[in-house]
Amino acid sequence: PIGWGYEISQKENGLSSLSGPLANVVVAAVFFPLIGFEGFLGLVGNLGFIINLWLAGFNLLPLAGLDGQKVFVWSRLVWAVFTIPIWLLTVFQLFM
């Protein structure tokens, strides 16, 4: 429940909880093209990409207090569709 007598559904809570991790994925995508550059620009691109992927992946963990728990409670399928690729990309990035 939230203020003003309005209560949101599990679906609304799950969808709104996806917005934070998805924003991190969008920011990571903005940094991704910079990875190909040499020097400082490449470093900024790499750090911006991996940090935002880690933030998204961490926030999608199905633990109390994190957005992942709210999404997981609402829909395990939606949680898996978003979380697994983010985790795989995060781990893959470590070996690039």
Let me know: does 81 contact 71? Beta carbons within 8 Å: no
Joined tokens for residue 32: 């991704």
pLDDT for 14-39, tens place per residue? Answer: 999 999 999 999 999 999 999 999 99
Q: What is the mean pLDDT of the chain?
A: 92
Residue in 24, 12, 26, 21 with CA at minimum distance from that of residue 67? 21
Burial class (CB in 10 A: 0-12, 13-18, 19+), 51: middle
CA–centroid distance for 50 within its chain: 11
Tell me the pLDDT tens digit for each residue of 49-79. Answer: 999 999 999 999 999 999 999 999 999 999 9
pTM, whole model, 2 decimals?
0.85
Contacts of 54 (CB under 8 A, 6+ apart): 90
